[in-house]
Amino acid sequence: MIGDAFGPGAARAFPLVFCAAVAAAGCTTDRPPAAATGLTTTTDTAGVVVRVVNSGEPPQWQLTLEASIGPRSLAVGGGGPEEFGRATTAVLGPGGEVYVGDSQYLEVRVFGLDGEHRRTFGREGEGPGELPAHINSLAWVGDRLLALDLIGGRINEYSADGEPIGQRVAPGRWGGSGPGEGFHPAGGDEVYSQSLITEATGLATAFVGQNAAGETGDTIRRLDDPWNQSIVCEYNEGWLWFFENIYSPKLAQHPGPGGTMYQARTDIYRIALTRGADTLRIIERTLPAEGLSDDEWAAVADEFAAGLRERRGASCEPPRPVRPETKPFINRISVAPDGRLWVEAFGTAGNRWDVFDPEGRLLGSVPLVEWKESAVPAFGTDHMLTIRRDSLELDYVDVWRIERGARPN
């Protein structure tokens, strides 16, 4: 439960213990050579809950740009398949290929890891393999590529070669194309999409599972966020503007395998894996809190002020962002198809992804690279994809190789 995982009682419920003192509790410690990073992972069990504590610095992985897929000239309109109308999603295929969904042309374009175009499939329409309105997201489940169109209310299924092999009704129509409105991988054969469900108290948001055979049967209600400090501004007789202060605490959440949920209060580096009201695993990283600099806070205040200037006469609640005493540790949680947990984390030395294995052991940290907010990165075992938009508002898909270097001395 959230209170057990993040509240004041969390430290009492899952005390940090040492293996020598509690060998009977099933505690284990993995220690790298002393000359390495000093990373230590301690695992202990309290009741049915496994607690994994990661201390010290992990190996610093690097990203090497292998290809940047996009317009090859500034002559917009004649750049071939590398010129996207609106790239909304990109995923790695099982054969080492890059699949890009273009929502302007309603087609999927396939490239090699070297950036060379190989084939294109899909088009606008209502027939087999056709897309009615949008491509929110692409995801692989087994050997099937799913293309999600929440506006058109459809999920198309394709083979790796682009042959149509089925259609499904998208669970709950949902407008827009934000980062939370696509597929959420939870393993090699399971993804979730957001949906509106009806409860006794009204509509609620849920994650609905999909696999290669159809719906998994797992529907996970999206958790309410008791720490959300988003500002809601009303202007122009009923229009709404939502402003999120990236440094305010919030609840980060992402579906996990088998109907589980990863969740974290972002100002505490403690991630809970839950199923319903039960906590299964706690994953922690011990780090000191970092202060928020005046320049960092000025950037937030300036962004809010600029938004108000564009919406003159707006009435906001609360009226302005509240400056927290320290930065949050976490911004976002993602799960890769190989089951690894990617945690987007803040840091004065540079924001990064911390990568954990499915058991909660910290494997490495990767520096953040640029991507457009509406298209979340796609994580693989050896590669990562990001979509960015340049100053001319042209989209590029960047193919990164993950370099796992030796531990520094």
Position 127 scores a pLDDT of 86
State the residue for tokens 């959230």.
Answer: 2
CB burial readout 34-58, b (16+ within 10 A) else e: eebbebebbbbeeeebbbbbbeeeb
Strands 231-235 vs 315-317: parallel, antiparallel or unpaired: antiparallel
Position 37 scores a pLDDT of 64
Residues paired with residue 99 on neighbouring β-strands, in sequence order: 91, 110
Q: How far apart are alpha carbons 211 and 99 in whole angstroms?
A: 19
Give the up-direction half-sphere exposure of residue 180: CA atoms within 13 A in the CB hemisphere. Answer: 13
Burial class of 101 by CB neighbour count within 10 A (0 to 12, 13 to 18, 19+):
buried
Q: How far apart are alpha carbons 335 and 380 in whole angstroms?
A: 10
Contact of 87 with 105, CB cutoff 8 Å:
no
Position 72 scores a pLDDT of 76
Per-residue pLDDT of the chain (409 residues; tens, 9 = 90+): 333 444 433 332 333 232 332 333 344 444 443 334 689 999 999 888 999 999 999 999 999 999 999 987 665 555 689 999 999 999 999 889 999 999 999 999 999 999 999 999 998 888 888 888 889 999 999 899 999 988 888 899 999 999 999 988 887 654 444 445 789 999 878 999 888 777 888 888 889 898 888 777 788 999 999 988 899 999 998 899 999 999 999 999 999 999 999 999 999 999 999 999 999 999 999 999 999 999 999 999 999 999 999 999 999 999 999 999 999 999 999 999 999 999 999 987 779 999 999 999 999 999 999 898 878 899 999 999 999 999 888 999 999 999 986 444 3
**What predicted TM-score, i.e. pTM, was given to this entire model?**
0.86
With a CB cutoff of 8 Å and minimum separation 6, the contacts of 342 are 333, 334, 335, 336, 353, 354, 355, 379
Q: How far apart are alpha carbons 305 and 312 in whole angstroms?
A: 11
Position 285 scores a pLDDT of 96
Long-range Cβ pairs for the range 218-223 (8 Å, 24+): 218/192, 218/255, 218/258, 218/259, 219/195, 220/192, 220/255, 220/259, 220/261, 221/197, 222/194, 222/253, 223/2, 223/251, 223/253, 223/261, 223/263
Q: How far apart are alpha carbons 295 and 123 in whole angstroms?
A: 47
| Structural domains of the chain, ranges and CATH numbers in brackets | 61-221+373-409 (2.120.10.30)
The number of helix segments (H) and strand segments (E) in the chain equals: 3, 30
